[in-house]
Amino acid sequence: MEYEVTNAIVYPDGQLDILSKVEVSRLLDTSQGGLYTLFRNCSLAVLNCGNPLDDGRELLERYKSFAISIIQEEKGISLKLMNAPASAFVDDQIIKGIGEHLFAVLRDVIYVNNEIYNSPKFNLETSEGITDAVFHILRNANVLQSAAKPNLVVCWGGHSITREEYDYSKEVGYQLGLRGLNICTGCGPGAMKGPMKGAAVGQAKQRIQDSHYLGITEPGIIAAEPPNPIVNNLVILPDIEKRLEAFVRIGHAMIVFPGGVGTAEEIFYTLGVLLHPNNENLPFPLIFTGPKDSSNYFDEIDAFIAGTLGKTAQNFYKIIINDPIAVAKEVHAGIDSVRQYREEKNDAFYFNWTLNIEPEFQKPFNPTHENMLLLKLHKDQEKFSLAANIRNALSGIVSGNVKEQGIRAVEQNGPLKLHGYKDVMQPMASLLDSFVKMQRMKMPGSAYKPCYEISHSD
């Protein structure tokens, strides 16, 4: 099948500082760690905004001939696009929001490579060094609002959801917008777009001018979840672990909408962080919500949490079904508690420094077949460590479902194998089976062939 493409030269319109000749050469030198490939693939994902696609590899195959290069001029830089998706343009001009996202990709790829990975200032082998890197990436993207009061709500949920679930997420966003709250999501479609769209209407009614719709993504997932057009600040973190840390560090409350295994991964990351004893008294509003017909998703999640992490973990969240106003009121009250706590602790409103995050939640997990089989999926460990291992297992399944590298690995080596003890693996198998039955593994209506196999010891 042929896909319409176009050629163009795009200018940054004040979105990016001038690059040095050294930075340009590093970016275009494919021999230095594949930096050009990373830049090219993330740029293609951004240009594909608005086109439904659930497979990172398929996007790359659709536009094999796409190329992007930097043109350095005396007055600055521009980007030369060859065989780019034509949907990113209107009347031969790139859509302004997509253009902004395109230069955000360039900004973050350059900064992370030059200032984080190739700098002695950051020790990414330590917890403190990783957190410092996350902070600097966000600060470089100019998304940390030091003068603002706490008002940023992180919204998680599936990128491929039903129309009813999408409309519900939009109504929740509307109620948040009426209360002057800003939205941060994974930047994609579905439950990541709905709250932003609703909040935009709510804030417009309140005549709020400086709306903040922050999208946080990472290279491995951006092709399957390209930034939605409402995102007015896009940040690309280098891996899923730093992306998740960014969410919990900058958010003042969290809402989880129905999703699939990726949403479950985000839930277990958050619960694992909160389960650490050092975070015992830290206020962290966490709400699970959806329309009435989607309550079974949270029933399954709640049962899995009860069967693995226990009652203590269940105490960290509230489940509110089919009541957007109640969700917004709960979040608003929770943020008041966060504000009071931060003031008492002298902690910043824009970045939660006091939150303790253990290295097992920060070090990048490579979901190879070998690493998946080595995961410690048993209860003979701290609850937060079990949560970290479950999160890694779910992350591997996400990779096998939608990430180009993961899909290829499953094709070459067969399903990812997960093995642990019965009291963890049976609830996990039940949860994943329920996702398949609810068509929450990939696009609704498509046949799903599991990328994993589960076994257990007694």
Instruction: Give the end-to-end CA distance of the chain in Å, rounded to a whole number.
Output: 50
The Cα 422–Cα 441 span in angstroms is: 23
User: Which two structure tokens, joined as six digits, stand for 43?
Assistant: 């740029």
Q: Parallel, antiparallel, or unpaired for β 318-321 and 286-290?
A: parallel
Q: Which pLDDT value is given to residue 18?
A: 63
pTM over 0.75: yes
Reported confidence tier of residue 444, pLDDT bands at 50, 70, 90: very low
Share of the chain above pLDDT 70, in %: 93
Share of the chain above pLDDT 90, in %: 67
Reported confidence tier of residue 407, pLDDT bands at 50, 70, 90: confident
- List, in order, residues 6 or more apart from 306 with CB less than 8 Å away: 314
Q: Is 414 helix (H, G, I), strand (E, B) or coil?
A: coil
The Cα 128–Cα 125 span in angstroms is: 9
Give residue limits of the domains in the chain.
5-121, 130-458
Residue 70 vs residue 397, higher pLDDT: 397
Q: Between vectors from CA 63 to CA 26 and to CA 404, what angle results, nearest 5°? A: 75
Q: What is the pLDDT of residues 78-117, one digit of tens each?
A: 889 999 999 999 998 999 999 999 989 988 888 888 888 8
Q: Parallel, antiparallel, or unpaired for β 76-85 and 67-73?
A: antiparallel
User: Which two structure tokens, joined as six digits, stand for 142?
Assistant: 């100019």
Q: Which pLDDT value is given to residue 367?
A: 94
Q: What is the pLDDT of residues 344-367, one digit of tens each?
A: 988 899 999 999 999 999 999 999
Question: Which CA distances in Å does 11 have to 35, 103, 227, 372?
Answer: 21, 9, 19, 43
The Cα 62–Cα 223 span in angstroms is: 12
The CATH fold of domain 5-121: MCP/YpsA-like (3.30.1850)
Q: Is 262 helix (H, G, I), strand (E, B) or coil?
A: helix
**Is 5-121's fold the same as 130-458's?**
no
User: Which two structure tokens, joined as six digits, stand for 354?
Assistant: 């006091």
CATH number of 130-458: 3.40.50.450
Q: Name the nearest CA neighbour of 260 among 298, 287, 306, 214.
A: 298
219: pLDDT strictly greater than 80: yes
Conformational region of residue 83, where left means phi above 0, alpha means psi within -120 to 50, and beta covers everything else: left
CA atoms within 13 A on the CB side of 212: 21
Which burial class, exposed, middle or buried, applies to 66 when counting CB atoms under 10 A from its CB (0-12, 13-18, 19+)?
buried
31: pLDDT strictly greater than 60: no
433: pLDDT strictly greater than 60: yes
Neighbours of 123 (CB within 10 A): 12
Which residue stretches of 252-323 are H helix?
261-275, 295-308, 311-314
